[in-house]
Amino acid sequence: MGKSKHIGFRVDEETLEKLRYVASYEGRSINGHLMYLAREDIRRFEKEHGKIDLSDVQKS
């Protein structure tokens, strides 16, 4: 994996508190839990649609 990038993420207070609770329950930080969820979603997507070819993705 390459360098980490920073993104902004807007979330309402109730969702943030619930996310904090779930992340803590799972033994993760909020950032760690969001990374876990993102990776799981990518795995699910690639299982259904095939591997994502990053050469086809425009860099931003």
Is residue 56 assigned to a domain? no
Query: Residue 20's domain spans which residues?
Result: 13-48
pLDDT of residue 1: 62
Domain count, the chain: 1
pLDDT of residue 18: 98
Alpha helices in 1-60 (DSSP H): 13-25, 30-49
Report which residue type is found at 34.
L
Which one, of 15, 13, 51, lies nearest residue 34 by Cα?
15
Stated length of the chain = 60
- For 34, counting Cβ atoms within 10 Å of its Cβ (0-12 exposed, 13-18 middle, 19+ buried), the class is middle
pLDDT by position in tens, the chain (length 60):
678 899 999 999 999 999 999 999 999 999 999 999 999 999 999 999 999 998 877 765
Report which residue type is found at 26.
E
Query: Rounded to an integer, what distance in angstroms lies between the CA atom of residue 17 and that of residue 12?
Result: 9
Is residue 4 assigned to a domain? no
Is residue 33 assigned to a domain? yes
Is residue 38 assigned to a domain? yes
